[in-house]
Structure formats: structure tokens, C-alpha cells
Amino acid sequence: INKDSNTDRSESESAVNGTQNPHTLQPTRKIALITGITGQDGSYLTEFLLNKGYEVHGLIRRSSNFNTQRINHIYIDPHNAHKALMKLHYADLSDASSLRRWLDTILPDEVYNLAAQSHVAVSFEIPDYTADVVATGALRLLEAVRSHVAASGRSHIKYYQAGSSEMFGSTPPPQSEATPFHPRSPYAASKCAAHWYTVNYREAYGIFACNGILFNHESPRRGENFVTRKITRAVGRIKIGLQSKLFLGNLQASRDWGFAGDYVEAMWLMLQQEKPDDYVVATEESHTVEEFLAVAFGYVGLDWRDHVVIDKRYFRPTEVDNLKGDASKAKKVLGWKPRVGFEKLVKMMVDEDVEFAKREKVLVDAGYMDAQQQP
Ligand code: NDP
Ligand code: GDR
């Protein structure tokens, strides 16, 4: 996609930037503001909210490469004002003024803070950047909401904070809202800070702010260096003959893996309740990385042991060994339950990545692409 003036996904120079009030377009629609709209969850949440009739505004960060691949399929040119219900704006969680300005301009009813440096292993490499975006970024956004409400009186505004099961860290399962946190990475410690900032802004200022404590959730849109997608990408490429080895770290870690499409509904449900609260969202089933490998490779008739090589570089200084959520509160209060189980999730991801590898193979055979090993 070309980011020339005509195709730029941001609207800094168009409708929403002060020249035209978005409310005049669809006065009855609810308005959501999403940080991290270009990420896995941001894309599913946008689809979900558009289906519910929302106008969705997303904050995207400037990058030297296009970063809107996950939402290109729902993008409509803003010049088509009545149809373009997803709008994008440049901002960054490290830039407080941009957050406040977009709140004042967009006047959202609901704010979903999904943006993060979300890779646990990478957080050991860039700890203070991770803390700045994940912890202080959440604080900046909460403070922007607080000051926006104080200035405008729009006290009905609701805030969702993307919390993580990583906050439980080494505390044994099952983990519920009452389980103590023991974070095991700069990422997890930063998410704990963001969690408590959110609780504090709720208690101190009466802001309708919720923490979703979400266990791992995956999809065909998962980033390619998270273990599930790394595995299913490799399965597709090995099956099609583009790759033979897959280098991984700790195979004994156990995770409660659900489907991202199911989890964004829980985020929305939290903001539809009478009172703000915190909720664990999980499938309540846990599987090791090795079990994921067995299902993924087995599904296409391969044996993972013929392909997987252990590489110490993927081990973490401190590991989270075992996560398994207790989502009884979300089930009871929100009426939420997951629709996609473990095997269905793995197969959905493998199916998509086999198709992806077939498309890559066409390009490789035509000499347009190298069949490079995955990073
Ligand atoms: P992704 O890594 O797929 O997406 C992260 C998003 O944050 C991207 O849109 C990214 O933009 C954006 N972002 C990163 N840094 C900044 C910044 N400085 N300013 C503004 N935006 C930024 O994450 P997921 O969609 O998987 O997760 C969504 C949220 O939920 C994250 O906060 C994550 O930590 C949390 N979470 C995720 C779980 C999971 O299993 N997926 C479980 C529990 C919590 P860009 O596209 O430009 O990189
Ligand atoms: P996680 O997800 O750390 O749980 O965080 P990830 O998929 O990165 O790791 C899961 C487990 O797999 C082990 N592992 C490997 N991980 C990666 N990435 N690459 C490998 O090669 C590899 N080999 C083994 C890991 O050690 C770990 O035990 C995700 C993120 O989405 C967070 O943002 C989110 O908060 C949590 O899930 C809940």
C-alpha cells in the first residue's frame, strides 16, 4: 500500500483534524478510540465494534514501513465520509500531548488501551522502552482521560486497560483476579504498574476504568515471533517445502491459549457493565509448547521431532512456567465464554499458514522471493 497523500491511512490532514466534527456524520453512533489498532487484538476489536455500529478511531504510530496490514481489509478511504467508519490518526503512547489532543478531538465514549511493546523476551533487551510504553504509556493515557473529563465534563467516558496473565508470573495456577502478581520480566512488571495505575485512577477520580487480565490469545494474525505463530508459519513452510528446521527455546512452558476473536468481546463486555471492575479472561485449559507442536505438525502429517532444534537464544532469563486461568467471574458477571478451543485454534492457524506458504511458494518459484529461513 502506498502511503502517498491519497492513500495515507492517517487522517491528520483530513476530516477529523478539526475541520469536520466526526459527530456530524453519525450523531447516534457510539465512538471508540483504540490504541494498538494495528496489532492482532486491535484488528479483531475494530471488526467487532464496527459490527456493533460503532465509529472506530485508531491511533497509529509513525513507522518507516507500513504497519496497517492487519486492518487494510476494513479500511475505506475517508473521502467516502458516510462509509468510512474506521479512522486513523498518528499518535504514540510516549507522546502525552498527542493522546490528549485526540481525546479532545474525537470525543470517544470508550477508550481501549491495547498498545504495547508486547513481546516478553524482547522486553529483556529493551527494558526501559518497554516500561515507558507499557507502564508510563498507560499512565499518560489515563491522565489524558482524567484531564479531558475535568475540562469537558464528559464523565461517561470508559477506559479499558489490556492487562496480562504474565502479571501472575511464577504464582502457581489456577490464577484468578484474587491471585497475587509475581512478574518475571520487564514487560510483566510494567503491565503490573499499568494495572495499578488503572485501579488508582478508578478509585481516585471515579473514572470508569477496567483491567482485563487476559491469558494468551492467538490467531492467524498473531505476530510471527510469538511461539504459536512461529510454529504454524514453520509448519506451513515445511509442508510446502520452503523450510526444514524450526529453532525454538523452552518447550515445557505451559500456556492457557485462546482465540483473539473471542477475547475482544470480553473487553467490550467489561465496558458495558454498570460498574467498572477487573476480570480474568481465559479458556481454563493449559497446554505445553510441546503439545502445541504435536497438534500443529500432526495435523499435516508431520512429526515435529524431525524438524525442531532447540536454540538457547530463545530461553528467557526468567521463565513463566505454568499459566491456567480461572475465568469464573467473567463467565458469571459478563456472560462470556470462549467459542474456540485449543485444537480448533491450532488447526485454524495451520490452515491459514499452509495457504500463506503456498502463496510464498509461487513467488519463490517465479524468482521473486528467496525461500529464507524464518528469523
Ligand atoms: P501486538 O504486539 O500485536 O500489537 C501491539 C500494538 O501496539 C500494535 O498496534 C503496535 O503498533 C502498538 N504500539 C507499540 N508501541 C506503541 C507505541 N509506542 N505507541 C503507540 N502504539 C504502539 O499485541 P496484541 O494485539 O497481541 O495485544 C494487545 C494488547 O494486549 C497489548 O497491550 C498486549 O501486551 C496485551 N496482551 C496481549 C495478550 C495476547 O496473548 N495477545 C495477552 C494479554 C495481554 P505497530 O503495529 O506499529 O507495531
Ligand atoms: P508469552 O508468549 O511470553 O506467553 O507472551 P510467547 O509466544 O512469546 O511465549 C510463550 C512460551 O513459549 C516459549 N518459547 C518461545 N517463545 C517465543 N516467542 N519464541 C520461541 O522460539 C520460543 N520457544 C519457546 C516461551 O519461552 C514462553 O514460555 C504473550 C504475549 O502476547 C504477551 O504480550 C501477553 O501478555 C502474554 O502472551 C499473555
pLDDT (tens digit per residue) in 13-46: 333 333 344 555 445 899 999 999 999 999 999 9
- Classify 224 as helix, strand or coil: coil
Look at residue 79 in the predicted model and tell me its pLDDT: 85
pLDDT at residue 19, as a whole number? 35
- For residue 226, the CA-to-ligand 2 centroid distance in Å is 5
The three cell numbers locating residue 299: 495435523
If one counts every other C-beta atom within 10 angstroms of the C-beta of residue 348, the result is: 17
H-helix or E-strand spanning residue 42: helix 40-51
Confidence class for position 371, pLDDT limits 50, 70, 90? confident
CA distances from 291 to 13, 223, 255 (A): 49, 20, 10
pLDDT tens profile 328-353: 999 999 999 999 999 999 999 999 99
Taking the C-alpha atoms of residue 208 and residue 276, their distance in angstroms, rounded to an integer, is: 5
Q: Which atom of ligand 2 is nearest to the CA of 249?
A: 23
**Which one of 134, 216, 254 would you pick to mutate in the ligand 2 pocket, going by the greatest count of ligand atoms within 8 A of its CB?**
216
Cβ neighbors of 156 (< 8 A, separation 6 or more) are 109, 208
Q: How far apart are CA 340 and CA 342, in angstroms?
A: 7
What mean pLDDT do residues 163-192 have? Answer: 98
What pLDDT does residue 82 have? 79
pLDDT in tens, 93-151: 999 999 999 999 999 999 999 999 999 999 999 999 999 999 999 999 999 999 999 99
Cβ–Cβ under 8 Å, residues 84 and 306: no
- The 10s digit of each residue's pLDDT in 267-301 is 999 999 999 999 999 999 999 999 999 999 999 99
**Residues paired with 218 in a beta bridge:** 259
- Give the SS3 label for residue 12: coil
| Calpha distance 265→120 (Å, rounded) | 24
Q: Give the number of other CB atoms < 10 A from CB of residue 1.
A: 11
Looking at the annotation, which residues are catalytic?
A: 164, 166, 187
Residue 17 has a pLDDT of 36
* CA nearest to 229, candidates 349, 334, 136: 349
Percent of the chain with pLDDT over 90: 88
Mean pLDDT, residues 214-235 taken together: 98
Q: Name the DSSP class of 146.
A: H
> What pLDDT does residue 4 have?
34
Q: Which residues pair with 32 in a beta bridge?
A: 56, 110
Query: Percent of the chain beyond pLDDT 70?
Result: 92
Q: Residue 89: is its pLDDT beyond 50?
A: yes
| Residue minimizing CA distance to atom 42 of ligand 1 | 216
Q: Tell me, what's the pLDDT at 10? A: 55
For ligand 2, whether the C-beta of 216 sits within 6 Å is: yes
Please tell me the number of the ligand nearest to residue 112's CA: 1
Residue ranges of E strands in 144-282: 158-164, 208-214, 217-218, 246-248, 254-255, 258-259, 278-281
H helix count then E strand count, the chain: 11, 13
Q: Is the Cβ atom of 223 under 6 angstroms away from ligand 2?
A: no
Query: Quick check: 325 and 286 in contact, CB under 8 A?
Result: no
pTM given for the model: 0.94
> How buried is 65 (Cβ within 10 angstroms: 0-12 exposed, 13-18 middle, 19+ buried)?
exposed
Q: What is the average pLDDT across 168-179?
A: 98
> From CA 160, how far away is CA 33, in angstroms rounded?
10
The alpha carbon dihedral of 183, 273, 37, 31 has a sign of: negative
